[in-house]
């Protein structure tokens, strides 16, 4: 799923019952050191458990949902 506003999208999905994997709070202690400055406010990113990564082309915000079915994913 691609979105132009991950914070709004994750909030709406969560409100509709979608569950996401939790990220340890310590993950965010070094985000700025690891990926540099990003445009988004880190507070809602941390509150929602959104992951931040960077490569030579820019940075990526992503989150992983818990399995929605009983069958494990491959």
DSSP character at residue 73: P
Residue given tokens 């690891």 in the structure block: 34
pLDDT over 90 for what percent of the chain? 86
Contacts of 32 (CB under 8 A, 6+ apart): 42
Question: What does the pLDDT read at residue 19?
Answer: 96
Question: What does the pLDDT read at residue 72?
Answer: 66
Question: What does the pLDDT read at residue 74?
Answer: 63
Neighbouring C-alpha atoms within 13 Å toward the C-beta of 31: 23
- How far CA 28 is from CA of 9, 11, 12, 40, 45, in Å, comes to 20, 19, 22, 14, 9
Domain ranges of the chain: 6-62
pLDDT tens per residue, range 25-51: 999 999 999 999 999 999 999 999 999
């Amino acid at each position: 799923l691609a979105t132009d506003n991950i914070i709004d999208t994750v909030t709406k999905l969560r409100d509709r019952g979608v569950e996401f994997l939790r990220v340890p709070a310590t993950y965010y202690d070094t985000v700025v050191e690891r990926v540099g400055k990003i445009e988004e406010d880190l507070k809602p990113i941390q509150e929602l458990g959104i992951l931040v990564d960077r490569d030579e082309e820019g940075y990526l915000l992503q989150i992983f949902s818990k399995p929605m079915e009983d069958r494990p994913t491959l």
